[in-house]
Structure 1
Amino acid sequence: MFKILHKRYWGTAVLLLLGALLLATPVLAQDTVVTDNEVNEVAKDLFCPVCESTPLDVCPTQACADWRELIREQLAEGQSPEEVQAYFARQYGDGVLANPPKQGFNLILWLLPVVAIVLGGFFFSRYMRTLRTSAAGVAEDLEAEGAEAVQPPIAQDDYKARLEAELRNR
């Protein structure tokens, strides 16, 4: 008796499984839907090669609209944002990347400001040291000449008296 029940339920189970697979097939066949936000996340890190320094996500040209659609297609195919950016860099050069790689000539552009600041600080400190030593030498010369070489300061009282007299005459 157990064998008869088992065969009857076996056929039902197979039919239910086939029905579930038929229902799930359209879901599995659908492409993944890529939203505008996902496209703009990738596009903001790319510059339009046609427009000067305009990010791809805000560029109004038709070419940029086509490139955003290309980004959408590549993301729908399952490519990562890094792979999409690498594709654009291969097609149009590193100039389309908002953050170009730090290698080759770009490395020089990243290091040049740092080197310029370090060299500028070095030369400025040497200049200040030279000024201090020359000021110290002048002070020593004045001490060596003695107090008689130093002229007395201009009498401020005489100046004030002449200024007051002139103001009274008016």
Structure 2
Amino acid sequence: MKPVTFMIALLGLAACDAEVESRKAAVPAEQAAPAATAAPLTAAGSAATIQPEADDRAQQAASVVELTPLTRQGDATVKLFGTAGGDPAMNGLYTHLAFFDSPAEGWRVFRLGDFLEYRVLSEAPGRVDLEIDESVMDDASGQIGGRTYRVIVGWTVAADGSAPASVTVTPAR
């Protein structure tokens, strides 16, 4: 249950990211959170004051701007996530694939690349097919252009359910 609680906290912190406003425009309307329709709450006690986190891990968690749980991986807990960084006009979504190993070990994380965005096309145990949009610089003209391509991200599913030692990224059509 702790990984779920942690991810909820991460999503809340992601709204604090300086670049999140520029990414909100890219979220399709059907994926946006529904507007609140409940009446505002009325205070029923004294407010508790909370100080900012001093742990560096909170800073890293606050950089998460995209999260995609992979739900067809059997008993394994696997997710794609992106952190904001760099120049958002030239990619800036550092995209990772993460496997929960154990409470003692935490997550095993693989960096897939620096993209504008990714979309999951399909998934199966040990595999996720992605469509990736990225910025590219034309060295001759200095103009930023874009390209879209597809890849197959694969890994060996261990019989004991442990996280893989490596993943592969294969160009696809």
TM-score in terms of structure 1 length: 0.18
- In terms of fraction of residues, the more strand-rich structure is 2
